Each structure stands twice: as C-alpha cells, then as structure tokens.
Structure 1
Amino acid sequence: MTRTPLADDPEPVEPAPAGHLCVPVRPGAHGVTLRLFRTPVGGRTAVAFTSAERLRATLGAGRPWVPLSEPALRALAHPLGVHALTVDPVLTAPFTRGPAPDGPVPAIPYPGAPRPGTPCARRTGPTTRETAA
C-alpha cells in the first residue's frame, strides 16, 4: 500500500508499512513503555519491525513488543522529541551471546590515572626537612 502523492508534489512518495508493526517495549510502572534507540550517528529513533520474527532475529528472543500502526507509533514518539522512525533496521548486528570471561575482567584505568610507582602529586616548595642556615 502506498500513499497517494499530492498533485503538485514532484517527488514520489515513499511507501508506508501496511498494517500493524511490532514495536519493542519495556515493562513500566503503569504497563509498558516505548523503547527508543539511537541511530549510528547518535540521533534518537523509534524502531518497529514488520514481523515478530524480524524483531526476534534483531533483538533476541523474549523481548516484549506490542502491535501498533505507524501513525500511532509516531504519535507516541513525537511528544518525546523523537521524529525518526526506523522500520526493520538492517544495520544492527544479530544478537549473540559472547563467551563468558574466565576470571575477573581487569579494570582499564582512565588516561589521567596515576600509574603504580609514580607520585600522585609533586612537591614544589621546600620540604619540612630543609632547615635555614
């Protein structure tokens, strides 16, 4: 099903998904809450899938979802400042469970952290051991 273009619109209109979309949600205090995602460049977007199988293939099994139409999803996301809608995202990696670590994961110090064996602060004035002659 495609949208009919206006008579004065020189550009073709993109087709809209027909029927209900599978929209990922999270359990909330009063039911469920819409899950929002980030685009590769960091913008917020609502995400929907055309089938439950595509949702499970992308997000993994056991993720809660609700059926919504595109206008209903846009109406929910718009007050939150989210104007983008991504349908059947393909630029995501499939869900895989990584290997379990054998031991504790070592902490990676941030660049400004002092290294072992180096003083944390430098003394710039006279020390208490110095005496005036």
Structure 2
Amino acid sequence: MAQPLYDDDPEPSDRHPAGPLYVPVRSGPSGCAARLFRTPLGNRTAVGFTSERRLTATLGPHQAWTRLAEPALRALTAPLGITTVTVDPQFTAPAPGPVTSVTHEIPALRAA
C-alpha cells in the first residue's frame, strides 16, 4: 500500500535509499575525500547525483567523482555530524573569483 502524502509534508513518510550515487570528491593527503556542501540555510550536507551528466551539469566537467551507495555516503559523513544527503541539487552559487585589491580615497568631511 502506498504511503499517503500530507498537505504540509510534500514527501512520502517512508523514504527509500537512493541507488548508487555519483559523489563529488577532492584529492587529499590520504587519497580522495567526499566534497561537502552547504544548504541555502547554511547546514552542511553530503551531495550525490543520480547520473554523471547531472554531476557535470552542476559542478563542471573537471569535477572528480566516485560511486557510493547512499547508506555508505551517510556512514562516511555521520562522524562529522552531517546527517543530510542532498540528491541532484540543481542550484549552485558561482565559484568565487579572485579578490582584487581596490583602494578608494575617502573625502575629508567638512564642517558646516
């Protein structure tokens, strides 16, 4: 029997684990490590994509990745206090550009 949807909760009450995910990684001193991201509210989250195409469309063609099942990704990030896995995020902020030093002169205040 299907789980009912409620007006205030748009997701089913019983969540099923996602299949193997394409998880973005970065190089580290001990090999590769899962990249962690932040939600729009600032909470840390692990991220996985359901296809290489979706990962590439969001993070670019040069992003390294590995395949992990959702339970393995959760087990990997749980010791860091990360309990959320975001699957197929679509919105990302652009990568920060280089900071350039800009010097502005502040005009002296005049007494009235």
Q: Normalising by structure 1, report the TM-score.
A: 0.62
Aligned equivalent of 2:76 = 76
% same residue? 48
Stretches (4+) displaced over 3 A: none
Q: Secondary structure at the match of 1:32?
A: strand
1:56-114 CA distance string (max 9 Å, x none): 00000111000000010000000011111100012336x79x9xxxxx945277xxxx8
TM-score, normalised by the number of residues in structure 2: 0.73
Residue in structure 2 matched with residue 55 of structure 1 by the alignment? 55
Report the count of equivalent residues: 98
Unaligned runs of 5+ in 1: 6-10, 99-103, 119-133
Please state if 1:66 is matched with 2:66.
yes
Q: Does 2:12 match 1:17?
A: no
Q: Deviations over 1:11-61 (max 9, x none)?
A: 73133312x100000001111011100000100000000011100000001
Gaps of 5+ in 2: 4-11
Aligned equivalent of 1:122:
none
Deviation at 1:117, TM superposition (A): 4.4
| Higher RCO structure, 1 or 2 (CA under 8 Å, sep 6+) | 2
